[in-house]
Amino acid sequence: MAHTCVSTSASSLRFSSVPFSPNSSTNLDSHKLSVPFHPLRPRDDLQVPSSPYFPAYAQGQGPPPMVQERFMSVISQLFLYRIVRCGGPVDDDMANIIVAQLLYLDALDPKKDIVMYINSPGGSVTAGMAIFDTMRHIRPDVSTVCVGLAASMGAFLLSAGTKGKRYSLPNSRIMIHQPLGGAQGSQTDIEIQANEMLHHKANLNGYLAYHTGQSLERINQDTDRDFFMSAKEAKEYGLIDGVILNPLKSLQPLAAAADSSEQLSV
């Protein structure tokens, strides 16, 4: 599936300091500190942002532990409401976490739906298929919701939700294409990898045809190159069942797909 390079920018933290000499008793008196010291009030330049979505960290470093803990706390709270997050490139680490979450929620209550939010550019085919097989293996229905982008394996997982319970927000983009990859080595090694890619292509396109109701011939044609769709176009194509225009309460799956189509789609 698609490989996406994600670049992040970090803001530098600058602190003003004063040269200190142990032999000078008037050293501190001859300079003014840029940030006054108040023992009962935390310094502003050492504050951690209150929002987990606005990290500020030094150049070349990751987010501070407090920011990471706060963000994971948000994810944990959503998990209590049976909401699973599929965000970022699909890889083995993400797949292992999502598989474990799905299995746990299945054991916790097999009759309650699970909602999976997808904002992913795609990634590993095998990792994505691990999530897909688990979605089919567990007993609860899995409702999928696209926020932002569902491309490549992300779009495949979006279409793999329970029929009648696959949604998208109105400004999301959905993209399907054939598996991407490369090989090197001897002629035999390259042939082995090429056959493996052909297997994945046939397997994925077969499932896409089943999920969307499109013919296999059209799926093969449309996935030959990147095929982008709006939320409305994805509904018409059969990748999703409705476009959510109402508040969060509309995310609860309706009893009938027909009612869902009338109330949630544009």
* Residue ranges per structural domain of the chain: 90-264
The pLDDT of residue 182 is 81
101-152 pLDDT, tens digit each: 999 999 999 999 999 999 999 999 999 999 999 999 999 999 999 999 999 9
Q: Choosing from 120, 143, 152, 172, which is the catalytic residue? A: 152
At CA 109, angle to CA 122 and CA 73, rounded to 5? 55
Our answer to whether residue 3 is catalytic in this structure is no
pLDDT tens column, 142-174? 999 999 999 999 999 999 999 999 999 999 999
Considering 120, 143, 168, 177, which one is annotated as catalytic?
Answer: 177
* CATH number, domain 90-264: 3.90.226.10
Residues of the chain with pLDDT under 50: 1-22, 24-58, 256-266
Q: What torsion, rounded to 10 degrees, do the Cα atoms 205, 211, 212, 217 define?
A: 30
Q: Which two structure tokens, joined as six digits, stand for 103? A: 């299995």
**Whether residue 186 lies in the annotated active site:** no
